[in-house]
Structure 1
Amino acid sequence: MELSILFGAIGTILGIVGALVTLKKDSKADGAEDAHVKAQVDYIARGVDDIRIDQRAQAGKIEALNERLIRTEESAKQAHKRIDSIGEKEGA
């Protein structure tokens, strides 16, 4: 009878140790997976930040081109007025 109690106790202890080892391995695997996911999220966040910076730069370039276009149109309008006035003087 004492032998069966001893085997039962040893079995219980081995079961507990096995469960702890399995939990520890699972925790390490989960930690590694979490670290990988975090690294990927950080990489994506940096990419989004780069896109935002590029978008702001493009917006600035478009605004500068818009201003140049407005000045060019005003200059062309003034040139047409001068050409029209020269044509009126020659036609008169």
Structure 2
Amino acid sequence: MSIEMSLLFGAIGTVLGVLGAIITMKKDSKNQGASEASITTKVDYIARGVDDIRLDQRAQASKIESMNEKLIRVDESSKQAHKRIDKLEGISHES
């Protein structure tokens, strides 16, 4: 009888151990799912931020290009003005 009781307690212990492992795995699976959802949300938020930065960078590049074109025109105009001033000074010095 003592061997039968030992076998019975052993079998009950084994069943309880397996059930405990299954319950723990389910909890871990739920926790892992929540963790993965949180990570996915954060990655999506970062991706949107990177997209916003790219758009801002393109807008800034466009503004810089426009300013460069204006600067070139101003520089050319300034050179022409200096040439006209040099001509005027040459005329006034000759008089």
- Percent identity for Structure 1 against Structure 2: 64
Q: CA deviation at 1:74?
A: 0.5
Compute the RMSD of aligned alpha carbons. 1.6
Matches within 5 A, 1:1-92: 1=1, 2-92=4-94
Q: Which runs of 4+ in 1 moved over 4 A?
A: none
> Which residue type is aligned with residue 58 of structure 1?
Q
Q: CA deviation at 1:89?
A: 2.8
Q: CA deviation at 1:4?
A: 4.0
Structure 1 residues not aligned, in runs of 5+: none
Q: CA deviation at 1:79?
A: 1.4
Q: CA deviation at 1:3?
A: 4.3
Q: CA deviation at 1:44?
A: 1.1
1:31-56 superposed Cα distances (whole Å, 9 cap, x missing partner):
11111111111111111111111111
**In the comparison of the two structures, how many residue pairs are matched?**
92
CA distance in 1, matches of 2:68, 2:51: 26
* TM-score normalised by the chain length of structure 1: 0.85
CA distance in 1, matches of 2:17, 2:91: 110
CA distance in 2, matches of 1:14, 1:60: 69
* Higher mean C-alpha displacement, 45-54 vs 3-12: 3-12
